[in-house]
Amino acid sequence: MYKTNQAKSQAMTEQQSKERIKFLTEKINEFNYKYYVEANPLVPDYEYDKLLEELKQLEQQYPQFALPDSPTKKVGSDLDTKHPKAKHKYPMLSLDNTYSKEDLSDFHNRIIKTLGPNDFFYTCELKFDGASVNVTYKNGKLIRGLTRGDGETGDDITENIKQIKPIPHILKGNDWPAEFEIRGEVLMTHEMFKKLNAEREENGEEPFANPRNAASGTLKLLDSNEVERRNLICFFYYFAMDDYPTDSHYELMQKAKEWGLPVSEHMRRVRGIDAVMNFINEWEEKRKKLPYDTDGIVIKVDSFALQNELGFTSKFPRWAVAFKYKAEQAKTKLLSVDFQVGRTGAITPVANLEPVFLSGTTVKRASLHNEDQIKLLDLHYGDTVIVEKAGEIIPQVVGVVKELRPKNAEPVKFIEYCPECGTRLIKKEGEAKHYCPNEWGCPPQILGKIEHFVSRKAMNIMGAEATIKQLYENGFIKDFGDLYYLKKEDLVKLERFGEKSAENLLNSIEKSKNSDLYRLIYGLGIRYVGETVAKTLAKHFGSLDKLMSANKEELTAIDEIGEKIADSIIEYFSEEKNLEIIEKLRKAGMKMEEEQESGVGNKLNGAKIVISGVFDRYSRDEIKKLIEKYGGKNVSSISSKTDYLVSGKNMGPSKKEKAQKLGIKILSEEEFLQMIGLL
């Protein structure tokens, strides 16, 4: 844990202060990049805020040592290299924040000092722990959605914003301003977060640290269909425009509800700092019952005219502040660290703790994530550690009380060899986790692969999961292909396994031979190929053999399939052991072809079609379904193999230019519908 000690800071020499400023600037900028761009936080919010406050105080004391890229002078940036950029019409700043009610009183006194004893209102709102967005409406229609970016420029994620169900594409009524920007927070519910992380772990992907990072990562996806599937929600909290139709922020937000915009029902307008404190106290416990994360309360001067009078700093509005609740934490002792091996070979360190009660449950174990996190904490065996629940869900170690460290305590070192099979671990470029590469010689990986294959979403072999370990340890199976060669006389030899149980298992195995192709593809356990991707691959190729022979260009031409997934598929089918298992399945009579739907015709005759823009008669998803229904193929990017580009409104100019350059026919929505006979 990075310590902040104001008294110590003040006692530093000038040289020490200069070095500390440089260290804090570099470290906080690194944390910002991980948090905003990679959606992978390295430290808890409270720890980050304390470091930033220490840097702010040192820079005030020694302004000559402040660096040009100091994070105290700029908004944390989430800009990436994947999305087009666009300017915010009005700067999108951060909020100053505090964990102290005394600081909140100071904020109120500064307001009074500037405005005088005016009889003004505050608006109190829940501070949502999600990803900030800025959405523009013109003539009642959603025309653009941006991330916060660096406060001046954001990533254009309009298509993804349109997949968030609570955000309307067209406003209700007709008394809305002709054009305005509205800021909001995009969130992922606890339920969806758990479901998504379970899927990611199942597919061999790193789970998200918390719902906030899951929401942020989702907004940056290039596949808008996946954004829709993740069921994000949104609450808008502030308008930006030239002329406000009312002087009250609260009244304007209530009007926004009438226009169909998602606005929190828990917003309240109050008078005086005591009423603000009451609101904070009221929600400290109530917020924990909400289905999404909140981490504080935002207090704003309600009058736009008074906001304008109070003005801004380079980073914050002077008329608003965020009070943040301290995450519920507990101190306990680190007893040991286990290193668990997952189905994909990923090694996860887990802290074993003296039991401690936290947020309604007794915590005995907590995730340490990876080697980098262990080093960041400077963790030693026997340490007194601070544990909190990320998003009130996942216990994690967030700090160490170093003053209580036992003498001669040994540092926790990440293992070099697999704890199960002894193979030297590897760390793949660009990934935080270590892996055991011995995938067909490491028992937990083998068992994990077989358990995945028989699971409900895959081959759905009833009763198999409970007996896999027995079958493996008794030498009856070495991989999931062996399941199809089991004999009744072998099964009845197993403990607690009678004739009826054996017959039921064998019948379920036999039935699985006729499963849908997507279940087989998913069951193979190809890294990054979840259920949704498996369905896409099955529908596109129609047979396992065609998928096995596909090259990278063919794979990435499919909507939803990026380079990472394509590389993983190609790597899987290049492994001799995987091909051996598939051959076992084939010889056992496994169905490896999809029964193709006839649809309503083949008018598009396999044409590869890209769609771009927004359409009047049908949604993007409906257009895609029509393409498939009439015998065409949806592809995500334009290439020389593309047959048509179906163009809607606000189509990106680069796509149109590329299509024209390659001589690809561009169809309007009407022309496309005429082609398939719907107009």
Catalytic positions, please? 127
* Alpha-carbon span 619 to 162, nearest angstrom: 10
DSSP 408: T
* Alpha-carbon span 515 to 523, nearest angstrom: 11
- What is the number of other CB atoms lying within 10 angstroms of the CB of residue 352? 13
Collapsed DSSP state (helix, strand, coil) of residue 536: helix
Tokens of 369: 């994530």
Edge-to-edge strand list for the sheet holding 122-128: 97-98, 320-324, 294-301, 122-128, 268-270
Tokens of 631: 């015998």
How remote is the C-alpha of 116 from its chain's centroid? 45
Helices 563-574 and 576-587 pack at an angle, to 10 degrees, of 70
Chain position carrying tokens 């460290």: 405
Q: Say how many Å lie between the first and final Cα of the chain, rounded.
A: 65
* Alpha-carbon span 321 to 493, nearest angstrom: 69
If 0-12 CB within 10 Å is exposed, 13-18 middle and 19+ buried, where does residue 37 land? middle
Tokens of 502: 């054996």
* Alpha-carbon span 84 to 147, nearest angstrom: 11
- What is the number of other CB atoms lying within 10 angstroms of the CB of residue 662? 13
Specify which residues 388 forms β-bridges with. 329, 396
* Alpha-carbon span 461 to 464, nearest angstrom: 6
Chain position carrying tokens 């499963």: 515
CB 301 within 8 A of CB 320: yes
Tokens of 25: 């600037």
- Using CA atoms, how far residue 359 sits from 154, 356, 390, 416, in Å, is 37, 10, 11, 35
* Alpha-carbon span 349 to 425, nearest angstrom: 14
- The helix (H) or strand (E) run that includes residue 105 is helix 101-115
Length of the chain: 679
* Alpha-carbon span 592 to 588, nearest angstrom: 11
Q: 259: number of CA atoms within 13 Å, CB side?
A: 26
Helices 45-61 and 14-32 pack at an angle, to 10 degrees, of 140
Of the candidates 263, 126, 246, 245, the one whose C-alpha atom is nearest the C-alpha of residue 184 is 263
CB 480 within 8 A of CB 512: no
Q: Tell me phi and psi for residue 51, to 5 degrees.
A: -65, -45
If 0-12 CB within 10 Å is exposed, 13-18 middle and 19+ buried, where does residue 418 land? buried
